[in-house]
Structure 1
Amino acid sequence: MTEIRAIRDAARDESARDGAGRIETRRDPAAEGGDAAGTDLLPHSIEAEQQLLGAILTNNDVYDRIANLVRAEHFFEPVHRRIFDIAAARIQKNALASPVTLKGFLEDDAGLKELGGPAYLARLAGAAISALAARDYAQMIYDYAVRRELIALGRDISERATRIEVDSEPKDQIVEAEQRLYKLSEQGVTERGFVSFLRAVTLAVKSANAAYEREGGLSGVSTGLVDLDKKLGGLHPSDLLILAGRPSMGKTSLATNIAFNIAKAYRRGRRPDGSEGAVEGGVVGFFSLEMSSEQLAARVLSEASEVPSEQIRRGDMTEQEFRRFVEAAKTLENCPLYIDDTPALPISQVAARCRRLKRTHGLDVVFVDYLQLLRGTGKGDNRVQEIAEISMGLKALAKELSIPVVALSQLSRQVESREDKRPQLSDLRESGSIEQDADVVMFVYRDEYYREREKPGEDNLEAMAKWQETMERVHGKAEVIIGKQRHGPIGTVELSFEGRFTRFGNLVRPWQQDGDGF
């Protein structure tokens, strides 16, 4: 310690003789990929880099406060990158990083020799003003690094756009540029680290208070389906909800109904925490990878106007039905439901478009129809790994934007081979990752669909009578089976289903038919 103090004192004396205390550096143009004049034009702060390195070499605990924000490649000066890299490696091994301990690793460094050799390390430590400002310096270094990345990205986009090549379509260049921007934005997502129990408790109390102020209703966004809300408590921020079912069960219809209910109920105002936003319902983003936006809108209008969807598709409507259809369209034209029907979207694009929508119009819930039609980055060796990447990406998106994400999913054919066709968690395709990442897994099941296909022959009167009795019991009914719920009970919720309008609704019980229903 005596030797370090002597070096530091000598460095302070030298700085005092210098007059300004500034440490001069000379950059290596080759390391920056260009000439010195060109690199000088890029945003940077040599002084901030020197202050941060000096603070780390003086007090190694500073590194723990800035490690989740700054990496070696964020430094503009090549020598500073190497100093930070070696210091970080030693600190991570619980070894001391100081001018003396780093000297042996950098004695032969050509860049450091130009700056005065190991004595430059002592000057860095000696010129460090305060460790308290280290986080500010780190943020400044990171911000400048991002600006340089943006400049480089802009130049690359411009250069590629000027080169006219057969295998490089403008549309492909736009997608690639968006993906690179997404990766760049992801670098800024720093780790939140530990949160005190006091803060965690405060957040839990705020959530409970929000539910209490709604008279014991919901802490999340209402689906518009009373029994489902009772089971789920609404759709909660940061949750990934999987809605699965076999073809023709109505999973897209249910998702569309819930999305429409949320958007229709949207009311903006001041929340209990003082922020501005949705106090009822919400702004909905709907990724329809299977159906076009027109087809999806037709489903919503079919429900709102009570005109069968097949009649809308054929244009087979009476004048009164067409008038109802147009009036419903006018009523809902300002509904905050945004549809993206781009096919085969990569998960990175989904995240980027959700951020953009939240920034421009707000965003409270996202629906994805359906999960298996999304694409990963292509780095996975097989489809199971790709699905794992997609489900993890959707969960990360829910947490990042603090919104519920509802993703539809297919079920494997093994459901059809069982006598009881009600789905189970094991029926999910690539179920390992989906089941693990999801906070809620729900299955849509309509017994009526299967019973219709069991109709006996007309000559078997006894079987026909039994079948008709069964059909009367299951007609117009659907089940939402909650197979997993991280924060609540599992079980079955019964809903009504009107196939003509592809509409799910609250099931009226026998004791509610006298006017005391929903």
Structure 2
Amino acid sequence: MATIEQFAQRQTQPQERSYRTPPHNLEAEQALLGAILINNDAFDRVSDFLRSEHFVEEIHRRIFEVAGSLIRAGKLATPVTLKTFLGEHDLGGVTVPQYLARLASEATTIINAYDYGRSVYDLAMRRELISIGEDVVNVAFDAPVDSSPRDQIEEAERRLYQIAEAGRYDGGFQRFSEALKVAVDMAARAYEREGSLSGIATGLTDLDRYMGGLQASDLVILAGRPGMGKSALATNIAFNVAKAYQGRTRADGAIEAANGGVVGFFTLEMSAEQLATRIIAEQSGVASYKIRRGDITEGDFHRVADAVRDMQQIPFYIDQTGGVAIAQLTARARRLKRQRGLDLLVVDYIQLLSGSKSRTENRVQELTEVTTGLKALAKELNVPILACSQLSRQVEQRDDKRPLLSDLRESGSIEQDADVVLFIYREEYYLKNKEPRPGTEEHINWMAQMENAHGRAEVIIAKQRHGPTGTVELQFDAEVTRFSTIAREDKIAEIR
């Protein structure tokens, strides 16, 4: 053991130092590498989370990297097979073959290989945290003129979450019984929840019957042409979820949603004030244009005041930053989840999101990065993400203007990444622009069509991984931009 001890001592105490050395454990690195060299099965116990860069010593990084390459190629990794790939290293008078031989000869078991690997990984994470902290300090001292503190905070958050997720050692295969337990727990929560839904209720009963509510980790795309009301529908759903929120305390002391949920809303097109005015109009029944102009009666004012008072405490959080990048959106969503909780994230709308600034690809590739990022975020936070999307103009060229999946702008990535695709369609919008000359038979037929279409909207479920596709009719009050379930006796038969 003398040679390895001398090597470790030389590495940890090369000279008297007046500063702290980053945390490391050479003995753990040596013990792990020795275990791998005597039994290559030890590599499989750590390879899903441990990387060569997690080792503090350069020679240890090379040994782990070369051993891994050999093992993955189906070859044997031993001191004999490794030495020809490692080259020359300054090991304080010890040759590379001698060092490999001592590592193998002094390793006695692979039982603790996983624990050694965890130790090496955890110390690497601590060194990375120190590095991030140093960068935060240095950038804050010497920040360029065009760099804002907010940008630095978001970059630090991105790096922190990156190291948190990149090498987690709690992944891998799980027993099917564990998956069964999760499925049964989900069914139990659905039984307890109002409406017996497995997901979060949208507040629109007929839509919930088709979808079972908004499911955790799903990316739901809500698309439509301008004027169809996609932003209004997204706002209605978001507010319904927040208004229905009821929290309960779990056994571990954390608070979770028993009904409804905490909502985060990225409004990239409207301001927070415009969004708030829409919601006030919807809840009070007073038209938003009247609220903006102050053209309201005393009775209207009291209704607005009552609606605002009822909405004061709901868990609804708005981010109105325009032109936000997907990386910034991800960092802010994680922060909201950590600080306030998060059960539903709404993005209005995805074509206003940008990809990473370093990328120079075309818009289709940039949007692919956006939709892939949103789907990954939904899985990571385990919440549904409802994202609005524009439709291409080719809808207008058809006689039947009901949207199809192919009408999605840059549809490949959106259709591929989405778990659910909803289209909003209002025939009334198109009929208004086709009024024939009054007094003609065509005008009489047109008036009949307008009467049938007035206040009606269709939500077309064009794709759904977990359930049926179809069309749901909703009531739409354009004056207060409110969607609601149609009150009728011939309710949609319950879907089983």
- Normalization by structure 1: what TM-score? 0.88
Shift of 1:312: 1.4
Matched, 1:56 2:40: no
| Most deviating of 141-150 and 129-138 | 129-138
Q: Deviations over 1:288-332 (max 9, x none)?
A: 111111111111111111111111122222222122212211211
Correspondence for 1:44: 24
Once residues 46 and 463 of structure 2 are traced to their aligned partners in structure 1, the CA distance between those partners, rounded to angstroms, is: 39
Shift of 1:285: 0.9
Matched, 1:383 2:363: yes
Shift in alpha-carbon separation, 1:394–1:35, aligned structure 2, 3 A: farther
Correspondence for 1:121: 100
Question: Is this contact kept in 2: 1:239–1:404, CA < 8 A?
Answer: yes
Question: Is this contact kept in 1: 2:59–2:89, CA < 8 A?
Answer: no
**SS in structure 2 of the partner of residue 88 of structure 1:** helix
Shift of 1:36: 8.9
Matched, 1:400 2:384: no
Shift in alpha-carbon separation, 1:40–1:294, aligned structure 2, 3 A: same
Matched, 1:139 2:123: no
**SS in structure 1 of the partner of residue 487 of structure 2:** coil
Shift in alpha-carbon separation, 1:488–1:169, aligned structure 2, 3 A: closer
Q: Deviations over 1:154-179 (max 9, x none)?
A: 32332233336445454544444444
| Most deviating of 358-367 and 143-152 | 143-152
Shift of 1:490: 0.3
Question: Is this contact kept in 2: 1:262–1:284, CA < 8 A?
Answer: yes
Matched, 1:222 2:201: yes
Paired-residue identity, %: 54
Q: Deviations over 1:27-80 (max 9, x none)?
A: 499xxxx99948861121212212221222222112122112111111111211
Correspondence for 2:410: 430
Once residues 363 and 465 of structure 1 are traced to their aligned partners in structure 2, the CA distance between those partners, rounded to angstroms, is: 51
Matched, 1:156 2:140: no
Correspondence for 2:271: 292
Question: Is this contact kept in 2: 1:112–1:118, CA < 8 A?
Answer: no
Shift of 1:119: 2.1
Shift of 1:258: 0.5
Once residues 411 and 444 of structure 1 are traced to their aligned partners in structure 2, the CA distance between those partners, rounded to angstroms, is: 10
Once residues 400 and 443 of structure 1 are traced to their aligned partners in structure 2, the CA distance between those partners, rounded to angstroms, is: 26
1:258 is aligned with what amino acid? I
Question: Is this contact kept in 1: 2:263–2:315, CA < 8 A?
Answer: yes
Q: Deviations over 1:358-378 (max 9, x none)?
A: 111111111111111111114
Matched, 1:337 2:316: yes
Once residues 48 and 301 of structure 1 are traced to their aligned partners in structure 2, the CA distance between those partners, rounded to angstroms, is: 61
Q: Which runs of 5+ in 1 are unaligned?
A: 1-14, 513-518
Q: 1:417 aligns with which of 394, 397, 401?
A: 397
Shift of 1:87: 1.0
Correspondence for 2:431: 451
Correspondence for 1:84: 64
| Most deviating of 473-482 and 130-139 | 130-139
Once residues 88 and 230 of structure 1 are traced to their aligned partners in structure 2, the CA distance between those partners, rounded to angstroms, is: 51
Once residues 200 and 118 of structure 1 are traced to their aligned partners in structure 2, the CA distance between those partners, rounded to angstroms, is: 47
Q: 1:361 aligns with which of 340, 346, 358?
A: 340
1:120 is aligned with what amino acid? Y
Q: 1:24 aligns with which of 1, 5, 8?
A: 8
Shift in alpha-carbon separation, 1:354–1:130, aligned structure 2, 3 A: farther
Q: Deviations over 1:269-300 (max 9, x none)?
A: 15799974111001111111111111111111
Correspondence for 1:282: 261
Once residues 98 and 280 of structure 2 are traced to their aligned partners in structure 1, the CA distance between those partners, rounded to angstroms, is: 75
Q: 1:94 aligns with which of 63, 74, 87?
A: 74
Correspondence for 2:494: none
Once residues 394 and 164 of structure 1 are traced to their aligned partners in structure 2, the CA distance between those partners, rounded to angstroms, is: 30
Shift of 1:440: 0.4
Question: Is this contact kept in 2: 1:27–1:78, CA < 8 A?
Answer: no
Q: Deviations over 1:489-516 (max 9, x none)?
A: 000000000111110001012558xxxx
1:307 is aligned with what amino acid? V
Correspondence for 1:481: 460
Q: Which runs of 5+ in 2 are unaligned?
A: 492-496
Question: Is this contact kept in 2: 1:479–1:492, CA < 8 A?
Answer: yes
1:279 is aligned with what amino acid? A
Shift in alpha-carbon separation, 1:421–1:39, aligned structure 2, 3 A: farther
**SS in structure 2 of the partner of residue 131 of structure 1:** coil
Question: Is this contact kept in 2: 1:495–1:507, CA < 8 A?
Answer: yes
Correspondence for 2:293: 314
Task: Say how many residue pairs are matched.
Answer: 490
Once residues 235 and 272 of structure 1 are traced to their aligned partners in structure 2, the CA distance between those partners, rounded to angstroms, is: 25
Q: 2:171 aligns with which of 192, 197, 200?
A: 192
CA RMSD of aligned residues (A): 2.7
Shift of 1:141: 1.9
Shift of 1:92: 1.2
Question: Is this contact kept in 2: 1:292–1:341, CA < 8 A?
Answer: yes
Once residues 323 and 15 of structure 2 are traced to their aligned partners in structure 1, the CA distance between those partners, rounded to angstroms, is: 43
